[in-house]
Structure 1
C-alpha cells in the first residue's frame, strides 16, 4: 500500500515542480554576443547549414557514434578557452592530448575538416572551423531525435590552444557540488547544468571514467547495472566501453533522466544529480517532460556556444581545422579583412 500511495505523491510534486520552472524561469532566450548573428552567412554562404546537415546524414548512416563524439568536441572546445576551435589544433602536446580529453574520436575531427573543405569549396574561406563545430554539434542532436534550433554564427578561429585550461572541464567522478561550482565559474545556473548533463543520453564511456563506482561498489548504483558494468570492466584500465544511457543509447531523448531515477546512471556526476536537493527536482521534471528538457537544453547550449568567442578582426578563418594559417604580411591581412567585411553587406 505504501508503494502505491507514494507514486501519486511523487507525480504531483513533480508536476508542481515543472509548473514552478515554467512560472519562475520565463525569460528571454540567451542574448546574442556582439559580433555574432543568426543570419551571419545568409548572403555570403546561404547553403551553409544545409551542407552541414546533408553531410552528417551520410556520416551517421555509417557511423552513428560520431553524433555524441561531435557534441563532446563542441562542449570540450567551448568550456576550456571559448568556442574558438582550439581543440581541433594539432600540437606537441595538443589540447586534446590532455587526460580530460581522452577518447576524442579522430573520425569526428576528420568529419569537421571534411565539412570545412566542402563549405570552403562552395563559399570560399569565410566560415570558421569554430562555427562548423557548433553547427555539427547542433545537427548531431537533431539528427538523432533531439530538438532543432538556430545558433548564432560568426565565430573566428583561435590562434592557439590551452593545455592547462582542460583542468576546468567537469569530471565524471565529481559530486554535484563540484560540478555546479565548475559551471558557475562560467556563469551557468543549476538548470543549465542539469540540462547539459542530458547530453549523456547517448554516447559511450570508457571503463576508467566510472570504475570508481565499481570498486568499491557504489550503493547508489542499481545492482543489475553494476553486474553488467563489472562484467564489461574487470579493471579501470580495460579498453572496453559501455553505453551511458541503457534505454535508448543512440537516441537523443530524456531517457537519461529515467536512468537516474532508477539508479542507472553511469558516472558519479550523473547519478549524484538525483541525490542533491538543488538538482533532484530538475531530474524528475526532465524525466517527466521531454519538451521541457529540450527547451532548457537548447537555452544552455546556445549560452555555451557563445563562451569567450572571437569575432570581427580577432583570430582567423583556418584553411585547415587542425593547423593555424601561415602568417601573412600586415597589408595582406588588412586587405582580406576589408574584403570579408564588404562581402557581409
Structure 2
C-alpha cells in the first residue's frame, strides 16, 4: 500500500505542472460535489458487474470524444437527426451512453449543475479500466461541456484501415506521440470486441502478416459470406482483463484488426512494443503505468475550462 501511495503522490506532482496551463485540477469537485468521483465509480462498477463488456465501451467512449472537438462530451449530444458527431462512420459501435446518463442523473440529484458530462466520461473511462483489473490513475477534472456536435467534424478519426504513417500523423495532430499511439491503441484493445465486418477484408485478402494458425481461428469465426455483425475478442487470450497480452499478440501476428497489426511494421512503434515485452525486469517499461500517463495526457486535448462551454443538465442535449 505504501508503494502505491508513493506512486500516486509522485504521479500527482509530475502532472500538476503539466495541467496548470490547461487549468484542469486534481480534486476539482472536492468542495462543490465531494462525492462526484465515488458516484461515477459506483455506477461504472455496477454496469461492468452486469456486463463485463461495458468496460471496453466506456474506455473507447473517451477516446472518441477527445479526438473530435476535444474532451468536451460532444459525442454524447443527440439532436434527433443523423448529423450529430456520434453518427460519424468512425464512431460506429461507440456505446456506453446509458452509463454516462445514469451517473449524470445521480449527480444532478445530489449536486445540480456542478459536474460536467465531459468529466463524467473521463472518470468513467478510468473506473472502467480499474474494473477490468487495470491501473488506477488520478484524473484531473474541471472540463466544461461543448455545445457543438457535427458529424463532419469527426471525419478524420483514426481508422482501422489506416496505414501506420497515417495513424502516427493523426495522433501527432492531437499532441500525442508514437508511444501514446501504442499505449492508447493497446490499452483500448486489451479489452473488448470488434465485429467481423472489420476483420473480413484482411481474411479475404489472406493478409500474410496474420499468424497461419490464428488465421484459421479468425476464418472459423468470420467465414466468407457469414454474418458481419458477429463479435470477436480484440485480445483473444484475456478479453475482459486489462494487461499487456495484446502487445504479445501484435508481436506474434495475432492482431485482430489491421490498425493493431501495423504497429509492429514500423521501426519506432515496434521498438516501443518490444520495450514493454522485454525479459529484463530492470529495463522493461511498465505498460500499465505508461498507459495511465497517456490517458491523462489524452484527457487534456482541447478541454474547455472557466467560462467556456457549459455544464449540461442532461448529457445528450445542450442547455
User: After TM superposition, is the score higher than 0.5?
Assistant: yes
Q: Secondary structure at the match of 2:68?
A: helix
Residues 291 and 141 (structure 1), Cα distance of their counterparts in 2 relative to 1, 3 Å cut: farther
CA distance in 2, matches of 1:236, 1:282: 36
**Of Structure 1 and Structure 2, which has the larger fraction of its residues in helix?**
1
Indicate the residue corresponding to 1:333 in structure 2.
none
CA distance in 2, matches of 1:267, 1:185: 23
How far has the Cα of 1:136 moved from its partner? 0.2
The question of 1:43 aligning with 2:37 is answered no
The question of 1:219 aligning with 2:208 is answered yes
Structure 1 portions without partners, runs of 5+: 1-26, 326-345
The question of 1:133 aligning with 2:121 is answered yes
The question of 1:101 aligning with 2:91 is answered yes
Indicate the residue corresponding to 2:289 in structure 1.
295
User: In the alignment, is the contact (CA less than 8 A) between 2:56 and 2:191 conserved in 1?
Assistant: yes
The question of 1:210 aligning with 2:199 is answered yes
CA distance in 2, matches of 1:225, 1:320: 45
TM-score, length of structure 2 as denominator length: 0.89
2:248 pairs, out of 241, 247, 258, with: 258
TM-score, length of structure 1 as denominator length: 0.82
State the structure with more CA Rg. Answer: 1
Indicate the residue corresponding to 1:121 in structure 2.
109
How far has the Cα of 1:281 moved from its partner? 1.4
Residues 167 and 324 (structure 1), Cα distance of their counterparts in 2 relative to 1, 3 Å cut: same
User: In the alignment, is the contact (CA less than 8 A) between 1:77 and 1:85 conserved in 2?
Assistant: yes
| Aligned ranges 1:116-265 → 2 under 5 Å | 116-198=104-186, 199-234=188-223, 235=225, 238-265=228-255
User: In the alignment, is the contact (CA less than 8 A) between 2:90 and 2:155 conserved in 1?
Assistant: yes
Number of residue-to-residue matches in the alignment: 297
CA distance in 1, matches of 2:153, 2:98: 23
User: In the alignment, is the contact (CA less than 8 A) between 1:211 and 1:236 conserved in 2?
Assistant: no
- After superposing on structure 2, the runs of 4+ consecutive aligned residues of structure 1 that deviate more than 2 Å are 27-30, 234-237, 287-291
Indicate the residue corresponding to 1:61 in structure 2.
49
User: In the alignment, is the contact (CA less than 8 A) between 2:179 and 2:272 conserved in 1?
Assistant: yes
Structure 2 portions without partners, runs of 5+: 1-12
